Chains A and B, each alone.
Chain A
Amino acid sequence: MTFWNKVIAITWKDWLSEMRTREVVSSVLVFTLLVILIFTLAFGADRELMTTVAPGILWATFAFAGVLSFSRSFVPEKEHGCLEGLMAAPISREVIYAGKGLSSLLFMLIVEAIALPAFAFFSNVPVLSPQIILVTFVTTVGFVAVGTLFSALSANTRAREMVLPVLFLPIVIPILISAIKVSELALTGEPWSNLFTWFQIIGAFDLVFLAVSYLVFDFVIVE
């Protein structure tokens, strides 16, 4: 089997187990919708205020959703003894990183594909623009690059649920800032060319952290 065949096999395994248990997507989705509901409710019916705060709300929500979904990425593997199986399989650790990352990306994108229209619906802010959809995708790739690494790491610590956000959130702040900025500019109708710098930062972050996490993943995965 080639590298990608093995990666797809792991992603397919996660997809099947998700289809049967519906553990990650459904719980993260409910959580995300609740956070959106609370925020839109808190800022009320003031349309102008809502447009101002919408980018911040959107990205705070997605960051929290990311933490929640990554906390479920490696913990079930560990609880059910599946991690030993993965490690005993004749595949390199990097394959595990890529496979788990791909399935996390898939689950996050499903959640966001439902949460984004829901946010547009509740807040009356037109967040369903091509700019915001694109920035959501590239930022999620960055989240997953870092989140998968820290998910594997925190699964081997005590108080995992506490360790993961402490590790994950400070590292992703630069792409959070960039994503908020892009959303802000997109909502005020700026042309694509003005968003380019921010997309560059997110793109650089994605590439750098996919590479770094790929290289150091070997050290964080232990039985």
Chain B
Amino acid sequence: MKRNLLLALGFVSVVITLYLIFVWVPTITEMGIVERIFYLMVPMGWLALLAFVVTFAGSVLFLVKKQDRWDFLARSSAEIGIVFTTVTLFIGAIWAKPIWGVWWTWEARLTATMILWFIYLSYFVVRSFATDEHRGAVFAAVVAIVGLVDVPIIALSTTLWRGMHPPALVFKGDIAPEMLLVMLTSVGTFTILYVFLLMLRVSVRRDEAEVQRLKELDR
């Protein structure tokens, strides 16, 4: 029931966001039409991080409380997170081509996102190469914890190393109010989508575990 409400809310907000991006907001900066990619890139990047934080929280709770449901949460969030991270990288490349003239450059946030993607990947590698399911879950939780602790250090070192990304306009306060409104709406919409997907995935995973348990009872 809660999920259906969320779905309805998500649907409405997607329609509103699309209207805002393609009809309502004027082209503001000198980048031209390309700037509209921001309204997709910013929420994707935000969710790549948010999903990882949720994975981290789930992993810590799983290691402390030893209840499978926390692992379900962590793993489902990581699955969605790696998709968002991949999309961020692709959108980043599509944006970089007209603005910087190249598909890929070793720019700070692009580099950091790439490293994050590899950490997400190692989370799944460890799971699939573990000798049994439970051990894989514990190992993956360790990887998630180590990975999240690494994120601020990665961000710091890549920023000092390279910096040609437009500085975070939002924090400098000189972003046009229209842009900010659309960006925040878009972030909200995609966060609803994330929560919806997460709930769906966790419930599927819970059902799988239940089926597995019943099968073992039968044997």
* A contact residues vs B (CB 8 Å cutoff): 146, 149, 153, 156-159, 162-163, 166-167, 169-171, 173-175, 177-178, 181, 197-198, 201, 204-205, 208-209, 212-213, 216, 219-220, 222
Contacts and interface: CB of A to CB of B under 8 A. Distances in A.
A220 B122 contact: no
Given A156-B131, A158-B129, A171 B146 contact: yes
User: What's the dominant secondary structure at chain B's contact region?
Assistant: helix
B161 A181 contact: yes
A157 B126 contact: yes
A156 to B, nearest CB: 7
Interface residues of B, number: 29
Nearest to A201: B157
14 contacts: A153-B126, A156-B130, A157-B129, A166-B118, A166-B121, A166-B122, A167-B126, A171-B146, A173-B154, A174-B153, A177-B157, A181-B161, A209-B146, A212-B145
A104 to B, nearest CB: 17
B147 interface: yes
Interface in B200-218: none
A170 B153 contact: no
A181 B126 CA distance: 31
B153 A212 contact: no
Interface stretch (B3-11, B34-42, B47-55, B133-141): B133-141
Given A204-B153, A219-B141, A170 B130 contact: no
Give the interface centre of B131, B157, B160 by most chain A CB atoms within 10 Å: B157
A171 B125 CA distance: 14
Contact of A197 (B63, B129, B153, B160): B160
A149 B147 CA distance: 13
B160 A173 contact: no
Given A157-B131, A159-B129, A174 B150 contact: yes
B142 A153 contact: yes
B143 interface: yes
B147 A163 contact: no
Interface in B102-151: 115, 118-119, 121-122, 125-126, 129-131, 135, 138-139, 141-143, 145-147, 149-150
B156 interface: yes
A100 B149 CA distance: 22
A209 B130 contact: no
B115 A216 contact: no
B158 interface: yes
A172 to B, nearest CB: 9
Contacts of B156: 174, 201
Nearest to B149: A212
A167 B143 contact: yes
A198 B149 CA distance: 18
Contacts of B146: 146, 149, 171, 209, 212-213, 216
A173 B130 CA distance: 24
